[in-house]
Amino acid sequence: MNRLLAKTASTRQTILSQKKQLEKTVKPAIFTGLNKELVDYYQKSATILDKIEKEEKFAKDVLIALGPDFYLPKLTDESLWQTGKNKEIIAYYDNLKNSANASLAAISHLSPPADFKTYVTDQVAYFELLTKTADSVTNILKEQEKLKEENTQIEKAYQVLNLAKNENEKLSTKLLASRSRLLDFKRNLESFAEVRLTQNSLEGKLADAAARQPQPKSFPFSKFLGGLQIL
C-alpha cells in the first residue's frame, strides 16, 4: 500500500508539472481551444488522483487503527462459553473491551473521505456495541461471587450476548461491504472511466492537428500527446 501511495503522489505531481508547462507554452491562436482542453484534462486527472491518494491513505490508517483483532467483526468466542468457566469469560471480555476502546479511539481521530464517512460511523457503532456488551456480560458474571449461582449467571450473561448478536450481524454485514469497497483497488480504475474518454478524444485531436500541418516549435504536439499516456 505504501508503494501505491508513493506512485499515486508521484503521478499526480507529474501531471501538475505537465499542466503548468502547457499553460506556459506559447501556442498559435488556432490551438487555444485544444490547449484549454488539455489543461482541463490534466487538472481533472490530478483531482482524481488526489481523491484516490486520500482514500488509499485512509484505508491504510483504518487497517492500522483496527489492528489484527478487529479486521473481521467479532462479538464472542462460542467455545469459551461452552467451557462454563466464569473467570475465563470475564478475562476474555475485559481484554476485548480494552482492545475495542483502543481501536475506537484510533479510528475516531481519522478524517474519512466523503464516500467513507458512513463506514466510520458504522465502525464506531460496532465498537460501542462491543464495549457495551462486554460491560453487561462481565457485570453479570461478577455477581456470581455474591449470589453463588454460577450457572444461572452465565445463562443470564449469554442471554445478553444473544440480544446483541442480531445488531452485530447487521453492523457486520455493512462493515464488511464498506471495507471490501475501501480495499478494492478496482474502484480506482472506475474513477478514471470518464477521463479516459477525454484522453481518447484528445489523442485523436492532437494526432489530427499534428498530421495536418507542420508542427510549430512553440507548440510540441508530440510531447503532450505522449504525456497523455501516463494514465
- Could you report the per-residue pLDDT of 173-231, keeping only the tens digit for each? 888 888 788 777 777 777 778 788 888 888 888 888 777 766 555 555 445 544 555 44
Residue with cell 488526489: 50
pLDDT-based confidence at 131, cuts 50/70/90? very high
Domain count of the fold of the chain: 2
Task: Report pTM.
Answer: 0.69
Do 73 and 182 fall into the same domain? yes
pLDDT of residue 225: 47
Is position 205 within any domain?
A: yes
Residue range(s) defining the domain that contains residue 205: 2-53+192-230
Q: Looking at beta carbons, which pairs linking 199-204 to residues 24 or more positions away fall under 8 Å?
A: 199/41, 199/228, 199/231, 202/34, 202/37, 202/38, 202/41, 202/228, 203/228
Instruction: Based on the fold, state whether residues 222 and 129 are members of the same structural domain.
Output: no
In a domain, 140, yes or no: yes
Within a domain: residue 64? no
Distance from C-alpha of 15 to C-alpha of 228, rounded to nearest angstrom: 9
d(CA 45, CA 173): 34
- CA distances from residue 147 to 6, 87, 152 in whole angstroms, order as listed: 60, 15, 10
